[in-house]
Structure 1
Amino acid sequence: MIEIEVKGYANDEIFERVRESFEMIRREYHEDTYFQHPCRDFSETDEALRIRIRRFNGHFEAFITYKGPKIDPDSKTRKEIEVPISDPDKHTEILTSLGFREVLTVEKVREKYYVDKGIVIALDEVEGLGKFVEIEALAEDEKSVVETVERLKEILRELGVKRFERRSYLELLLEGR
């Protein structure tokens, strides 16, 4: 599956426009722990491996996610493989036993909103970074990426987004250290 994602810097006004314009799906709390491969540098290959713990409405979910290199110059579009896991601590133990090392944990509060069939907007308040708005869609292949990226960017522009960001929260946090 290809995740087509566009992210922009946000403020209170943009958050309010999203809240007024779209139907809320839910509010979530994320802890994303990123890992470094023992034999190749993910910062050079533009890949990511993380364990996400997601809490919402009294529920707990966890996933291990691989993100491939970005495939579009204007967005964060990339191949994504995500698998639910039941015990993130044991999965972390497996990864570290195999030589992976924890890089950083990104913590955020995310509000998810339904935009249209297959399109979701997220309002993110990222610890140490501030407010962002992300919009994403999924595609089976790369054929529709350029067209979809433009559609997603236009929705964000209409909401008042002026600055887009292609780097991940992990990259932004590491650069800010």
Structure 2
Amino acid sequence: MIEIEIKGYADDKIFSRVRENFEMIRKEYHEDTYFQHPCRDFAETDEALRIRVRRFNGHFEAFLTYKGPKIDSNSKTRREIEVPLSDPDKHAEILARLGFREVMTVEKVREKYYVDKGVVIALDEIDRLGKFIEIEALAESEDAVEETVKRLKEILENLGVKHFERRSYLELLLERR
């Protein structure tokens, strides 16, 4: 599956516009722990491996996610493979025993909103970074990327987003160190 994602810097006005115009799905709390491969530098290959723990409405979910290199110069579009985990701590221990190194945990509060079939907006408040807005859609093939990116970017621009960001939250936080 290809995740087509565009992210921009946001403020209270943009958050308010989303809350007024779209239906909230739910509020979530994320802890994303990123890992470094023992033989390959993910910063150089533009890949990511993380364990996400997501909490919402008294529920808990965890996923192991691999994200391939970005495949589009205007967005954060990448191939993504995600599998559910029943015990994220044990999976993290397995990764550590295989030589993977924990890089950092990114914590965020996320509000998810329904835009259209297959299109979701996320309002993110990132610890130590601030407010962002992401819009996401999934595609089966790369043929749909260009048109979908154009459509998603237009939605964000109509909400008042002026500055877009292709770097991940992890990259932004590592740069701040």
Q: Which amino acid aligns with 2:141?
A: D
- Structure 1 residues 53-83: Cα deviation after superposition (integer angstroms, max 9, x where no partner): 0000000000000000000000000000000
- Structure 1 residues 79-117: Cα deviation after superposition (integer angstroms, max 9, x where no partner): 000000000000000000000000000000000000000
Match of 1:164, SS state, is coil
- In 2, Cα distance between the equivalents of 1:116 and 1:92? 35
Report % sequence identity: 82
2:84 counterpart residue number: 84
2:11 counterpart residue number: 11
- Structure 1 residues 103-146: Cα deviation after superposition (integer angstroms, max 9, x where no partner): 00000000000000000000000001000000000000100101
Structure 1 regions of 5+ residues with no counterpart? none
- In 2, Cα distance between the equivalents of 1:76 and 1:168? 8
Displacement of 1:33 in angstroms is 0.1
Displacement of 1:26 in angstroms is 0.1
Structure 2 regions of 5+ residues with no counterpart? none
- In 2, Cα distance between the equivalents of 1:104 and 1:115? 31
Q: Which amino acid aligns with 1:135?
A: I
Match of 1:143, SS state, is helix
Q: Which amino acid aligns with 1:67?
A: K
Match of 2:73, SS state, is coil
1:138 counterpart residue number: 138
Q: Which amino acid aligns with 2:111?
A: E
2:171 counterpart residue number: 171
- In 2, Cα distance between the equivalents of 1:12 and 1:79? 31
Is 1:30 the counterpart of 2:33 in the alignment?
no
Aligned-residue Cα RMSD (Å) equals: 0.2
- May I ask how many residue pairs the two structures share in their alignment? 177
- In 2, Cα distance between the equivalents of 1:108 and 1:134? 13
- In 2, Cα distance between the equivalents of 1:111 and 1:95? 30
- In 2, Cα distance between the equivalents of 1:21 and 1:158? 11
Q: Which amino acid aligns with 1:37?
A: H
- In 1, Cα distance between the equivalents of 2:64 and 2:156? 29
- In 2, Cα distance between the equivalents of 1:128 and 1:91? 27
Match of 1:92, SS state, is helix
Q: Which amino acid aligns with 2:52?
A: R
Displacement of 1:150 in angstroms is 0.6
The TM-score normalised by the length of structure 1 is 1.00
1:113 counterpart residue number: 113
Equivalent residues in 2 for 1:21-60, closer than 5 Å: 21-60=21-60
